[in-house]
Structure 1
């Protein structure tokens, strides 16, 4: 018996269920969009692209805000609302004024970030939710100036399952920044067609 034989072997890693994110072994296909979902004098939200996977799509969202004539209190609330995205509305008052996004399909089914787990990667919920879902995968903050007069946040949102091959709506609202509800139409067929261009890294 060797010295290190007593070290336990790693347990086999359990595959991530598709509702919690894309397969790490698959390279998604990119659908460039550069769509402004909503904007006012102090804030804007845009969809840069959708990274299409066989089981769903990763939405690359940018939210930007500038202080302009906002008071110190208002500016703090706007910045805080960017970090409280994807918290369930009943959990915190901040979440009720946070940036939120949703999808609406022609059959009436819908999903919103308000209803999603806080972070799909770290969710300990093993029960598969009722589809569709739109959940936070990860986010990154970029403070673009030393004075913090301008701030941006990038979100990657996982849409599961893959949307149907027909137009659907992507809806945004950002109460803290005064951004009223607005919607853009996404071509679901263009999303679905890109599944043919996804590739496994090793096959």
Structure 2
């Protein structure tokens, strides 16, 4: 008698995006390719801005083939938020200049900051992209990921922090852009040889006795008279 008595589950009709990993789509400016790449890590822990009761600190730099993730934590002697998932670096349509702001200045003068709403786009942007999100912590230490594209050139990359409500005036910290670029070659691919998603292909999944197009490919469509198998199977 087997310890685990349950039988195998019915497999999906076809692999769908949620169940099958395809090759990276090449849009390096949209987000870190964490499902496909192990980043190189630069342990550059240092304060970026501080007041008597608050510190904004860089904990590490994750380097991807064409982008960077800054690991930034805000520490405080009093409660910062009730829920750390809310985060403190906020992208707003109307910027709160008293809140926590972060920006980057490239060696060529181009810049990006949390002042503006940064929405992932299908086409490559004309300028740098900066996108921040909370990733946990506690009420007294709130952790963030700050995604930055593209990689800096071999020159100074300046991080700029300001938080007037917490007594932190504009503070600039210089990182070595050349060292970041050099580290990118150590970012390792996890799954070489993954197949590419077919252009115009519509993976399907079984929904009871129906077949539905997956929502990730547009509007979901379900038909009660759909066959149990996909067309052409």
Query: Does the TM-score normalized on the shorter chain lie above 0.5?
Result: yes
Deviation per residue, 1:120-139 (Å, 9 max, x gap)? xxx56545433211111442
Secondary structure at the counterpart of residue 191 of structure 2: coil
Q: Which of 1 and 2 has greater Rg?
A: 2
Q: Is 1:179 the counterpart of 2:168 in the alignment? A: yes
TM-score of the two chains, using structure 2 as the length reference: 0.66
2:134–2:142: 8 Å Cα contact kept in structure 1?
A: no
| Pair 197,124 (structure 1): closer, same or farther in 2 beyond 3 Å | closer
Q: Is 1:152 the counterpart of 2:141 in the alignment? A: yes
Structure-1 residue corresponding to 2:103: 102
Higher relative contact order (CA 8 A, sep 6+): 1
The whole-number CA distance in structure 2 between the counterparts of 1:33 and 1:44 is: 16
Structure-1 residue corresponding to 2:16: 10
The whole-number CA distance in structure 2 between the counterparts of 1:26 and 1:196 is: 11
Q: CA RMSD in A?
A: 2.9
TM-score of the two chains, using structure 1 as the length reference: 0.74
Equivalent residues in 2 for 1:34-49, closer than 5 Å: 34-49=45-60
The whole-number CA distance in structure 2 between the counterparts of 1:5 and 1:158 is: 36
The whole-number CA distance in structure 2 between the counterparts of 1:130 and 1:156 is: 22
Say which of 182, 187, 196 aligns to 1:198.
187
- Which structure has greater helix proportion? 1
Structure-2 residue corresponding to 1:132: 128
Structure-2 residue corresponding to 1:54: 65
The whole-number CA distance in structure 2 between the counterparts of 1:124 and 1:104 is: 20
Number of residue pairs matched?
176
The range that moved more, 54-63 or 124-133, is 124-133
Structure 1 gaps, min length 5: 68-74, 118-122, 144-150
Deviation per residue, 1:83-141 (Å, 9 max, x gap)? 352322516xxx33221111112221111022243xxxxx5654543321111144224
Structure 2 gaps, min length 5: 1-9, 193-233
